[in-house]
A and B are shown apart, each in its own frame.
Chain A
Amino acid sequence: MYFKKLAATAIFTLLAPAAWADAAITITNAKSFETAPSAMVGGGFLDITNTGTEDDRLIAIIADFPRVELHTTEFTDGIARMMHVDGIPIPAGATVQLAPGGFHVMFMGLQGDPLEDGETIPATLVFEKSGEVEITFDVVKRDMQTSN
């Protein structure tokens, strides 16, 4: 009996951090657009919802490319300036969109292996508090409905 309880506690302890992470952060609409055959980069877009009571922060993304970064685009007088960001705040109770024209993931160094319609890109998001969250980006065709 004691043994069973110990085992149950152990399992609960092991699962607990993952369960909290799942409870706080929900990822939807993770997608990327197909690229030209010789493209060097592709963008990743997704919606991140923090259903928890504590603010969190997306601090990194890991995927199988030579380089993967979090970026944002800022506009001043019609000039676009894209820059690397160290983290994206995900306030408690909020949904933050990584969407064209703002925050986005940059998959860099495609080197002759373009993103193709129907392909999927497995990736790991790293949050300051919720830890790692596994996600999959669906590569889709770019049309005006999905790109806006």
Chain B
Amino acid sequence: MKPIIFGASTLILAGAIGIYVLQVSTTQPDAPCGDTAVGATIGGPFTLIAETGETITDAEVITKPTLVYFGYTFCPDVCPLDSARNAQATYLLEDRGYDVGSVFISIDPERDTPQIVGDFTDNFHEDMLGLTGTSAQVRAASQAYKTYYRAQEGDDEYYLVDHSTQTYLMFPDTGFATFFRRDNTADDIADTTACFIDAAR
């Protein structure tokens, strides 16, 4: 009798865990892919200027899972480092069969012309899209993504800009999935992004 009782209770336990897991996964669909900013409404409509000089909207930019980063090209240190990492993540994902885009939005529209952001992004990945815009367009895009930037005062030509360094993973229909910090590696980003893509299938 004993083995049968044991088997039955294990089955009941397994069933209970199954229901629990099901409940968790329906209420928190993003949990298996790691930390997600709950409650934050990140992303939304924007209109910016592409590297070709054409006006472009978020719907035309985010046509597949896309990594979105805000920075400026007059920044020899952090921005190239983060952009190179994001580019590396998309290469890693490509190797695994995932098609993921990457976007660099300038928060220094005064100096970053479409050509300059285009040159900058091509340096990291041929498909990385550089965007800039009018001051108002860039301000609106930054506010939609809840990012911060502020140009430092005191120098008209060589001023520096303080700015947020998060990278956002966005999906065309569902919008914001998660964000990455500076200390996340290209492998981290690739793993998490792949997980979100698999979960959305």
A38 and B115: CB pair below 8 A?
A: yes
Q: Give the complex CA separation of A78 and B40 in angstroms.
A: 16
Q: Give the complex CA separation of A147 and B77 in angstroms.
A: 10
| Interface residue stretch chosen among A4-12, A39-47, A119-127 | A39-47
8 Å CB contact of B76 from A41, A67, A79: A41
8 Å CB contact of A80 from B78, B111, B186: B78
B119 and A147: CB pair below 8 A?
A: no
Q: Give the complex CA separation of A67 and B158 in angstroms.
A: 9
A79 and B164: CB pair below 8 A?
A: yes
Size of A's binding interface in residues, CB under 8 A: 33
Q: Give the complex CA separation of A83 and B74 in angstroms.
A: 13
- Residues 142-201 of B at the A interface (beta carbon under 8 Å): 148, 152, 158, 160, 162-166, 181-182, 186
What are 25 A-B residue pairs whose CB atoms fall within 8 Å in the complex? A33-B76, A34-B123, A35-B123, A36-B73, A36-B116, A36-B123, A37-B119, A38-B116, A40-B74, A43-B77, A75-B165, A80-B78, A80-B165, A80-B182, A82-B162, A101-B81, A101-B182, A104-B77, A106-B76, A106-B77, A142-B80, A142-B84, A147-B80, A147-B81, A148-B81
